[in-house]
Amino acid sequence: MTARLFPVQRILPLVCLLLLAAPAWAASPKEVPPTFPSYPTVEAWRIRIDNAPDGPIQVSTDQGETWRLIGRVTEPATRTLMGYLASGYAPIGTVAATAVHGIRIRVGDTSTAYPPMINIIPKQFAVTPNYFGGHIAGASGIYTDIPAGVSLFRELAPYAGSPVYLQDGDGHLSRLTAFYAPSINDQLVIVARRPANPLRQVVFENKTGGDVTATFAHGDPVVVTHVAKPVLGVGRYDGTSYTGVGAVNTNHMCVITISTAPISSSPLLEGTGPERRGGFQIEPTYHNSQTEEAGSPQTIVVGPRKADGPTLEGTPPLFFGYIDLAYSPGDTAHSWICDVQYAGSSDWKSMPEIVGNQPDAFARRHIVAFRLRRQKGADDRDWLAMRVLNDAGDYEASRRAIARAGKETVARGTLAVDARATDPETQYVQLYVDGEFAGLTNSRPYRLDWDTRQVTDGEHLVEARAVSRSGGLLSTMRSLVYVDNARKLE
């Protein structure tokens, strides 16, 4: 691979756009440059993963003050593994790809086009499906019990470009370095940062030279690039059977994948049994020219028609930091939905359901535009192309997903343990932590104070045992408590 894949500008901050109005580069008629000034972001949530067998996977919306359990690690990562071409455009120690079927984290330096990675994998992909075309994680995978297309792999998926930290025993967070290699019991923290001026929709005129127009929550629509090659049809893309018709399957430094297949309830792995996959991809010109997808009818290519080096690769708003995976069939206002426009009509219609390899499916249907959208009550009259919409920035889908998360107790300092001992025969209550005696009380209402600073941070089994006057065990109240006396990210 030639050195031109890695010009100096690619390792500069891959950030862009706007304050709270239209982007500063909006008036320029040129293609979007490969680097941008910083744009304001806010922390949306954090994901913490204990890289250990049965390690908890948790989410926090208050910068790590409290956490909720969303899943468990079934098999931890023990090494890094060579990544794929597009991962080289992600900054070191960031999320290189977010998808319903896996999250990729880039480590490794810029000496190779395929930097080392670690991966977070949903349970359906613990075994590699037949005809799988994506990155196979192997020992670099943190395998989870969370299904594909939900929770961490949907509304709580981090944005591409989100920073990833290693939390030490004292609770300090430090960015993953180029030399990071996973060890058992490592605690990884992903901070999902969303733009202060979120993207509402992107419209793609599906023709050579067609505009790609972005609309943000604040500011007027702006043409961010142009179509170099239209998309003609649909192919079989990994994870699309867990994604939903018109929903975002993947967003990484060089690809947006849109599903045209419905969510399947089949227990079979993808590639087994009747075909259930379907979708198309959006890629920048240079990256597309370097891959096997070059010229593919299932890809819409954006950017300069002929690029001899990277331009849009790893840049906002399409390929960095703005598009998440939120999708709920019953709540399109808070979902990323891709709909279409047919020749001769100014109306937007739902994405047609198309499964399997159909390279001329869109051409046969005379689809002239796509709209990726997440916006309630959008005025369609001025649009003449495909678009993708969003929720005007309230991120309600993510908040609901967090509210549905488990309620494992997370404690700091002194925790009041309620034994819930209601039997009148109760004489006293004993407190045990991980099987070790930790306290006793014979005073109603049988609450005990437990100093969590006497144990290491992490998960502990807390038991309150109610004992009768004769010394018999009346009841036991058990709960898992995740002790976290760590300091917040400074």
Q: What is the pLDDT of residues 183-230, one digit of tens each?
A: 999 999 999 988 888 888 999 999 999 999 999 888 889 999 999 999
Give the largest Cα separation in the chain, rounded.
86
For residue 420, pLDDT beyond 70: yes
Domain with CATH 2.60.40.10 in the chain: 409-483
DSSP 195-221: ESS-EEEEEEE-STT-EEEEEESSS--
- Does position 30 have pLDDT exceeding 60, yes or no? no
Residues 6+ apart with CB under 8 A from 33: 25, 311
Q: What is the distance between the alpha carbons of residues 32 and 36, in angstroms, rounded to a whole number?
A: 9
Q: Return the pLDDT at 86.
A: 86
What CATH architecture applies to the domain 409-483?
Sandwich (2.60)
Question: What is the reported pTM?
Answer: 0.74
Span 241-288, pLDDT tens digits: 999 999 999 999 999 999 999 999 888 999 899 999 999 999 999 999
Q: How far apart are CA 60 and CA 47, in angstroms?
A: 7
Residues paired with 282 in a beta bridge: 256, 300
**Helix/strand/coil for 258:** strand
The confidence score (pLDDT) of residue 460 equals 80
Neighbours of 206 (CB within 10 A): 21
How many Å apart are CA 439 and CA 421, to the nearest integer? Answer: 15
Residue 140 CA to residue 266 CA, distance in Å, equals: 27
Quick one: average pLDDT of 82-98? 90
**136 pLDDT exceeds 80?**
yes
